[in-house]
Amino acid sequence: MSGSEIQPPGGTPDSQGAPDGQGAPGSKEAKETAAAPAATDTKSPPEKPAKEGNGSQLMREIVSGNAMISVLAVVVALVIGGILIAFTDPRVTTALGYFFGDPSATFQAIWASISEAYGALWRGATYDPGSRTWQGRLGIFETLTFATPLILSGLAVTLAFRVGLFNIGAQGQIILGATFAGVVGFMIELPPGIHLLAVILAGAIGGALWGGIAGFLKARTGAHEVIVTIMLNYIAVSLVLYLLKNQLRDPSSSNPISPRMHESAMFPLLLGPNYRVHAGLILAVLAVIVVSWLLNRSTLGFEYRAIGANPRAARTAGMLVSRGYITVMLISGGLAGLAGVTQLAGTEKILDSDIAGSIGFDAITVALLGRSKPWGTFFAAILFGAFKAGGTSMAINADVSIDIVAVVQSLIVLFIAAPPLVRSMFRIKAVSREGVTA
């Protein structure tokens, strides 16, 4: 290869086609060219947009983020619920017959119907100055009582969500946790303090074993956790009913119920006998703190989040995905079992086949509304506790069917499950960052 064919890095073949001696390295023309300043491009590069300040960026993320979508989903559900309340009210139906004659009367009837219903809901869930008793006046404590098992069972579903598992079995895990806790609570006598700790431990073990079955089958056989947990729910209901008719039945009752828990096995009341709120609420708050630390601060939580994001990548990185499935379902079941403990040892005191109510299924909604985050789940559980506490007040004081509350909860699930629908309704754009669109 000749020397004239070698180009310097980044150079251009200017010497091709030039007269002999011109443009060659070391020539006068080359030195003058090297000494001359480089020609500037007349076309200026496009200006970058001004960088958004931290404050405005934070505000934009709050307005268009997941938390705002959850809030707007609740608002839309309440609006649609208000429409249903209005058009099922006989006063509104009567006023609609005279709409063209007196439109203002129709709108007044609609407003009165909605405001009375939601006013009664709010007072029943927080504070009702018109109540004659302090128990009825301070409904906030009834809200916290309803929210306590929802917090724990919501955390159970949330934790499974973060690993990519859909735990539909919180209902059965609550039942098994309550059953194990009941056996220790009314069949064994222990000193105060120790007895309650034994009940809590037994409930957690019962729920963990029931959740661990689904985790083991998922890890070892690939069985879908949704199908397995749903079937385990049916088995749990049938199992506890069988036990209540035989080994755990109260001999003094003709109904399939257990004996009453010993006083030493119950959660102490926080505000005396006039309110049902109990120390299980403290246990629920501690569980939120522990799960938040587990997911965000611990090595195990990092593995859970990695498995939930991409199981194949986590397996390639050396993480034991099967072990993660088993351990997370054990912990998830244990949390649901604790929800059963608070329901039995804190509220009901007696085990029956309906000890879980609809808590296990409401927990799915709570976890969705909380966006699978521990503290989000906590506040979502408080909201649903308010719906339960205020729904009774709304039905009694405003003559509104309590099923409206169930409709509102279902609508919340609908809008939470479809964030693009909420964003399109309010014309909200997804948060975009450098190269990433949320």
Integer-rounded Cα radius of gyration of the chain? 32
Instruction: Give 18's pLDDT tier (boundaries 50, 70, 90).
Output: very low
d(CA 41, CA 236): 77
Q: Residue 437: helix, strand or coil by DSSP?
A: strand
Q: Which amino acid would we find at residue 348?
A: E
Residues 170 and 76 in one domain: no
Residue 261's pLDDT is 94
pLDDT at 1 over 70: no
Lowest mean pLDDT among 75-89, 123-137, 249-263: 123-137
The pLDDT score that the predictor gives to residue 45 is 54
Mean pLDDT along residues 373-402: 90
CATH of the domain at 243: 1.10.3470
Q: Closest Cα partner for 250 from 341, 186, 172, 184?
A: 186
Q: Is the pLDDT of residue 303 over 80?
A: yes
Instruction: Give the model's pLDDT for residue 135.
Output: 66
pLDDT band of residue 6 (cuts 50, 70, 90) is: very low
* 204 within domain boundaries: yes
CB atoms within 10 A of CB 210: 31
DSSP 278: B
Q: Would you say residue 48 lies in a domain?
A: no
* Residue 1 covered by a domain: no
Residues 382 and 412 reside in one and the same domain: no
Q: Give the number of residues written for the chain.
A: 438
Instruction: Find the range with the poorest average confidence among 66-75, 94-103, 154-163, 407-416.
Output: 94-103
CA dihedral 67, 68, 74, 80 (to 10 degrees): -150
User: Are both 173 and 224 inside the same structural domain?
Assistant: yes
Question: 217 with 228: CB under 8 angstroms?
Answer: yes
Residues of the domain holding 405? 65-125+401-426
Same domain, 308 and 216: yes
Contact 220, 160 (CB under 8 A): no
Look at residue 5 in the predicted model and tell me its pLDDT: 43
Which residues of 72-191 form beta strands (DSSP E)? none
Q: How confident is the model at residue 295 (pLDDT cuts 50, 70, 90)?
A: very high
Residues 254 and 352 in one domain: yes
Question: What are the Cα distances from residue 125, in Å, to 74, 232, 390?
Answer: 16, 34, 4
Percent of the chain clearing pLDDT 90 (strictly above): 57
- pLDDT at residue 16 tops 50: no
Distance CA 227, CA 217 (A): 11
User: In the prediction, which pLDDT does 232 show?
Assistant: 96
Q: For 227-236, 387-396, 414-423, which range has the lowest pLDDT when averaged over its residues? A: 414-423
pLDDT band at residue 9 using 50, 70 and 90 as cut-offs = very low
Residue 345 has pLDDT above 90, yes or no: yes
- Whether residue 214 contacts residue 325, with contact meaning beta carbons closer than 8 Å, is answered with no
Of the two residues 100 and 141, the one the predictor is more confident about is 141
Most confident option among 12-21, 39-48, 336-345, 422-431: 336-345
Among 52-56, 58-62, 408-412, the least confident range: 58-62
- 254 and 301 in a single domain? The answer is yes
Query: Is 9 inside a domain boundary?
Result: no
Q: How far, in whole angstroms, is CA 22 from its chain's centroid?
A: 76
- Average pLDDT (358-382) is 92
pLDDT in tens, 214-246: 999 999 999 999 999 999 999 999 999 999 999
Examine the domain organization and report whether 72 and 199 are in the same domain: no
How many structural domains comprise the chain?
2
Question: Same domain, yes or no, for 87 and 206?
Answer: no
How sure is the predictor about 428, in pLDDT bands with cuts at 50, 70 and 90?
A: confident
C-alpha–C-alpha distance, residues 197 and 200, integer Å: 5
Residues 107 and 184 reside in one and the same domain: no
Residues 414 and 344 in one domain: no
User: pLDDT tens digits, residue range 145-165?
Assistant: 999 999 999 999 999 999 999
The per-residue pLDDT for 22 is 46
pLDDT score for 46: 53
Q: Which is more confident, 2 or 279?
A: 279
Specify whether 239 is located in the same domain as 333: yes
Domain assignment present for residue 51? The answer is no
Given this model, what pLDDT does residue 431 score? 56
- The residues with which 433 forms a beta bridge, in sequence order, are 436
Q: For the chain, what is the mean pLDDT? A: 84
- pLDDT of res. 14: 44
Q: Which of 209, 114, 7 is nearest to 400 (CA)?
A: 114
In whole angstroms, what is the distance from residue 238 CA to residue 229 CA? 14
Output the pLDDT for position 438. 41
Identify the weakest region by mean pLDDT among 53-67, 217-231, 353-367: 53-67
Establish if 23 belongs to a structural domain.
no
- Regarding whether 177 and 113 lie in a shared domain, the answer is no
Distance, CA of 96 to CA of 248 (rounded, Å): 57
Q: Which of 376, 427, 416, 368 is nearest to 69 (CA)?
A: 416
Report pLDDT for 44.
53
Cβ–Cβ under 8 Å, residues 220 and 347: no
Min mean pLDDT across 99-103, 286-290, 333-337 is at 99-103
Q: Which segment of 36-50, 106-120, 124-138, 382-396 scores lowest on mean pLDDT?
A: 36-50
SS3 state of residue 75: helix
In a domain, 47, yes or no: no
Contact 338, 152 (CB under 8 A): yes
Residue 24 lies in a domain: no
